[in-house]
Structure 1
Amino acid sequence: MEAFKVRELRHTDIDALLAFEIHNREWFESHIDARDPAFYSVQGVTEHIDGYLSDFADGTWHPLVIEDATERIVGRANLKSIHAPEGEAQVGYRIDQHLCGQGLATLALRHLIQQAQARWQLRQLVAYVFKENMGSRKVLGRCGFVLEQPAENAAVGGEYRFVLAL
Structure 2
Amino acid sequence: MKTFNVRQLESTDIGALLTFETDNREWFESQIDARAPSFYSRQGVADHIQCYLSDFAIGAWHPFVIEDSSGGIVGRANLKNINSPKGCAEVGYRIDQRFCGQGLATLALQHLIQEAQAHWNLTQLLAIVYKDNIGSQKVLSRCGFRVEHEFWMDKTKDECRFILSL
User: Do they fold alike, i.e. is TM over 0.5?
Assistant: yes
Quick one: distance in 2 between partners of 1:139 and 1:109? 8
**Counterpart residue number, 1:107:** 107
Alignment of 1:37-52 (within 5 A): 37-52=37-52
**Counterpart residue number, 1:71:** 71
Structure 1 position 70, deviation (Å): 0.2
Secondary structure of the corresponding residue to residue 113 of structure 1: helix
**Counterpart residue number, 2:13:** 13
**Counterpart residue number, 2:92:** 92
CA distance 1:99–1:150, shift in 2 (3 Å): farther
Structure 1 position 150, deviation (Å): 5.8
Quick one: distance in 1 between partners of 2:157 and 2:90? 20
Structure 2 gap ranges (5+): none
**Counterpart residue number, 2:36:** 36
Secondary structure of the corresponding residue to residue 161 of structure 1: strand
Quick one: distance in 1 between partners of 2:12 and 2:118? 26
Secondary structure of the corresponding residue to residue 101 of structure 2: coil
| Displaced runs of 4 or more, over 2 A | 149-152, 154-157
Structure 1 position 68, deviation (Å): 0.0
Which AA in structure 2 matches 1:84? S
Structure 1 position 155, deviation (Å): 6.4
CA distance 1:165–1:66, shift in 2 (3 Å): same
Secondary structure of the corresponding residue to residue 77 of structure 2: strand
Which AA in structure 2 matches 1:96? D
Q: What CA deviation, in whole Å up to 9, does each residue of 1:69-102 have, x standing for no partner?
A: 0000000000000000000000000000010010
Structure 1 position 149, deviation (Å): 3.2
Which AA in structure 1 matches 2:62? H
Structure 1 gap ranges (5+): none
Which AA in structure 1 matches 2:57? A
**Counterpart residue number, 1:140:** 140
Alignment of 1:120-131 (within 5 A): 120-131=120-131
CA distance 1:52–1:151, shift in 2 (3 Å): farther
CA distance 1:120–1:32, shift in 2 (3 Å): same
Secondary structure of the corresponding residue to residue 93 of structure 2: strand
Structure 1 position 106, deviation (Å): 0.1
Which AA in structure 1 matches 2:92? G
What TM-score, normalized to structure 2?
0.96
Cα contact 1:150–1:159 (8 A) shared by 2 = no
What TM-score, normalized to structure 1?
0.96
Cα contact 1:60–1:81 (8 A) shared by 2 = yes
Which AA in structure 1 matches 2:74? V
Structure 1 position 28, deviation (Å): 0.1
Quick one: distance in 2 between partners of 1:60 and 1:85? 12
Quick one: distance in 2 between partners of 1:19 and 1:35? 15
Quick one: distance in 1 between partners of 2:3 and 2:94? 18
Count of residues paired in the alignment:
165
